[in-house]
Amino acid sequence: MILSQVVIELRHSEPLKLFAPYEELYRSLTEEEFPEKGIPLPGFQLNVPKKMMRITVDPKRTAVIMGNVPSIHYCVDNSLAVFRKISDIVKLPTMQRLGIRSYWFEESEFNFVELTSVYKEKMYQPTEFAKESIDVGASFVIKEGDCAMNIAFGPMEQSQLVGMLAFKTEKLPKVVSFLDVDFYRLLEKEKVTQGMIREFVAIGLESASKQAERLMKILPRKE
């Protein structure tokens, strides 16, 4: 399967100090403490079209979206470079979640109706509900050590695939098998190092790649 998009997200256990002036202004104007909920602090996005990359910096999360992912090594190096540059400007707080979400697809030799039938045959019991369905999808949660994966997959047409991707991609197949893997680790206000991010991104993508291989072994080729 082709790795088409990756989102690497660090969820902070407290707001980035970059947004401290907003809290200070609130306290100054209201003479009250800034509420933890109810007033969303503004974040921002930075698009890097040449690299098909988007960086999102919010009070509660820092994320990198990559649409051009030729290899796992490329993803690891570029995500680390982004988080390193952000931490050079503002110190990253402790984290409560590390996440890497990847989209994979494989062009199908079947048309959409045929591929849907293949999924129904391989993934579901032959119930009336399944037989009458014109589209199907499946989702599972898999535990892997101190991490977990939310996995979703199913047949997809080109128009759906375009809507899933953050960046415009030329020559997408008309029909694909699509796989969405959200690999994550929950933390308890833990300080995250560059080495930890490197290891997590590599393990997350390697685990997702194995799930892609498992899925394609289940689905038959057109005779």
pLDDT at 223: 61
| DSSP conformation class of 125 | -
Helix/strand/coil for 60: coil
Kindly report, residue by residue over 127-186, the tens digit of the pLDDT: 777 677 778 788 899 999 999 999 999 999 999 999 999 998 878 999 999 999 999 999
This prediction's pTM: 0.87
> Which residues are bridge partners to 182 per DSSP?
101, 150
pLDDT at 92: 86
Query: In this structure, what token pair is assigned to residue 139?
Result: 């989702």
In the chain, the amino acid numbered 56 is T
Kindly report, residue by residue over 8-55, the tens digit of the pLDDT: 999 998 877 777 766 777 678 787 777 766 566 678 889 998 889 999
Query: In this structure, what token pair is assigned to residue 53?
Result: 């990359």
Helix/strand/coil for 56: strand
Beta strand 95-107 with 175-190 is antiparallel
d(CA 20, CA 115): 52
Residue 217 burial (CB count, 10 A): 8
pLDDT at 40: 63
- List CB contacts of 60: < 8 A, sequence separation 6 or more: 11, 12, 15
